[in-house]
Chain A
Amino acid sequence: MVAITRRSPVVFDVSPSRQEKRDHWNVALEYPGEGEGPWITDLCHKDRWDVQDGDLVSLASDTLPIPEGYGQVALSPEMSVNRMNRTQAAVWHFTDQPGPMPVVSSFTETTEATVFLALYGPRVFAVTEKLTGLDLGGPDKKPPQLVQGPFSHVPCQIVVAAKSGEYPGILFTCSRGYARDMVHAVMDAGQEFGLRPAGEDRFKQWLNRF
């Protein structure tokens, strides 16, 4: 029998103080000294789908609310559905065991093709403005909103989940091969603001605010 191991491409300098095995992934639940924020959380183990269809609206349902407007996001503690353009949307699941992907050619599993990170907490936009020319916290952004563009010079899909209040934050994905350099760049930019890796427990606390 072959033992399957799924590895996140994200590596932090510190090892988790509490973790669990889930669907062949090692999931970090908590890191030592997480501090007061901002935080970065590795979400690579969360299921992600790409949806492409000429008639996306026909694929929408109560369980898969695909927004009609480009750049709009349906964000909930269970999932984020991001409308990218006329024919494409991305689905990011946050639950531990999401349902199976519909067996329709419009859906593609992209979990292991991309890096998925959350950056949240106090002064998070002070970190992001060091990494991108995109004004993620600007007055024209109406969270939750999708922004597609370069982040640390890498094409990314960024969801501005919240930009005001005590816990602003973004979620973003990029191609898996950029993981090591992306994490290095983000941690370096966030060092002066006390950016620390955080486990999934803290991420869930933040996410449940939506």
Chain B
Amino acid sequence: MALTLTCPICGERNGYEFKYGGEDKGPRPEESGLSPEAWCDYVHMNNCVAGVQKEWWYHRDGCGVWFTTERDTTSNLEIHNAEVS
């Protein structure tokens, strides 16, 4: 399925112009009191949602901006417009 993504600067573009940056896991956890297990979970573990998830994308062949957007992983369609990082 062809993916189309909406870059916040360049607009709607072919998904092949972008590089996937992983799930958006929220802000980096506070270091004070952070256990190795919690840090490992934050870095390596993913939710792998079958449905809508928020993701990071990089416009590699275009303006070079990192942004987040929501994509339905079951249909491979973008759901919402992107937000600049």
Contact = CB atoms under 8 A, between A and B. Distances in A.
A87 to B, nearest CB: 10
Contact of B10 (A71, A88, A133): A71
A86 B10 CA distance: 12
Given A70-B9, A71-B9, A85 B14 contact: no
Interface residues of A, number: 13
Main secondary structure of the interface of B (DSSP, over half): loop
Contacts of B10: 71, 147-149
Given A70-B9, A85-B9, A86-B84, A148 B14 contact: no
A133 B62 contact: no
B9 A149 contact: no
Interface string B44-70: 000000000000000111111100000
Contact of A85 (B13, B17, B61, B64): B64
Contacts of A155: 60-62
Contacts of A70: 9, 63
A85 B63 CA distance: 7
A84 interface: yes
Contacts of B59: 148
A150 B14 CA distance: 10
